[in-house]
């Protein structure tokens, strides 16, 4: 069980996976895919479970949205659709560094995404963990990121396919984005991440709604009342 809901745990390619089942599933079997930090600040996940969504997760810690993680996500998505009968179009949920996974996979698989929910997301790894802007960054995470991508320092800093650089397929597919951030976030400065993404996505005629939390830092995530998030998501999913 998880938060009072039936929870299935299994392995996919050696990675721990979770699928939380609602009491009364919606007919179209929609699901939200938490790409990182399962169970943290779960207000929206719980609201969607109550509405009939599944909540899914595969552990991809320390993969930072790298190509190897994209392959794992491909296999996990196929299993959710083929074995569990879920909708081919998922809702991707990118918390913090989870934004790298959600945005990268959406850009590669726009046909499989209903909408995106981003929460104080990493949108450019030069900001975090590299710390090449205003963000402090993380030396250990930066070393792990370069290793999992197979980059030298120079290659990582010159990488042309960070999420903020790869928005065209998402915009072209008409995938809407809703995002939340704290305007006092110094860990992931908004102007290097979500606000830069917003500017570029709008320039591509993308549909994006961004909610600022005045005086809030990187934590807490989500909203005290997740209704604006759940209403947005439900409006873009077949019931």
Q: State how far the Cα of 136 lies from the Cα of 127, in Å rounded to an integer.
A: 8
Each domain of the chain, given as residue ranges in start order, spans: 7-235
The answer to whether 166 and 99 have CB atoms below 8 angstroms apart is: no
The answer to whether 118 and 177 have CB atoms below 8 angstroms apart is: yes
pLDDT tens profile 29-78: 999 999 999 999 999 999 999 999 999 999 999 999 999 999 999 999 99
Pick the CATH number of 7-235 from 3.40.50.10240, 1.10.260.40, 3.40.50.1820, 3.90.330.10: 3.40.50.1820
pLDDT tens profile 91-102: 999 999 999 999
The pLDDT score that the predictor gives to residue 238 is 86
pTM of the model: 0.97
The pLDDT score that the predictor gives to residue 2 is 97
pLDDT band at 239 (very low <50, low <70, confident <90, very high): confident
**Percentage of the chain modeled with pLDDT above 90:** 99
């Amino acid at each position: 069980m998880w938060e009072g809901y039936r929870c299935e745990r299994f392995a996919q390619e050696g990675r721990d996976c979770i699928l939380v089942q609602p009491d009364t599933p919606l007919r179209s079997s929609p699901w939200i895919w938490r790409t990182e930090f399962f169970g943290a600040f779960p207000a929206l996940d719980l609201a969607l479970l109550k509405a009939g969504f599944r909540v899914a997760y595969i552990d991809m810690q320390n993969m930072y949205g790298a190509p190897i993680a994209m392959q794992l996500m491909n296999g996990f998505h196929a299993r959710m659709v083929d074995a569990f009968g879920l909708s081919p179009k998922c809702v991707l949920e990118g918390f913090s560094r989870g934004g790298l996974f959600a945005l990268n996979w959406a850009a590669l698989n726009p046909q499989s995404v209903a909408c995106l929910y981003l929460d104080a997301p990493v949108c450019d790894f030069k900001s975090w963990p590299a710390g090449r802007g205003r963000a402090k960054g993380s030396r250990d995470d930066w070393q792990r990121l370069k290793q999992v991508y197979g980059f030298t320092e120079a290659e990582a800093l010159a990488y042309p396919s960070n999420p903020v650089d790869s928005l065209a397929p998402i915009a072209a597919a008409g995938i809407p984005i809703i995002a939340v951030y704290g305007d006092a976030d110094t860990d992931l400065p908004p102007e290097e991440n979500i606000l830069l993404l917003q500017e570029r996505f709008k320039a591509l005629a993308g549909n994006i709604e961004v909610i600022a939390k005045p005086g809030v830092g990187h934590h807490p995530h989500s909203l005290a009342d997740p209704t604006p998030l759940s209403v947005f998501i439900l409006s873009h999913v077949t019931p």
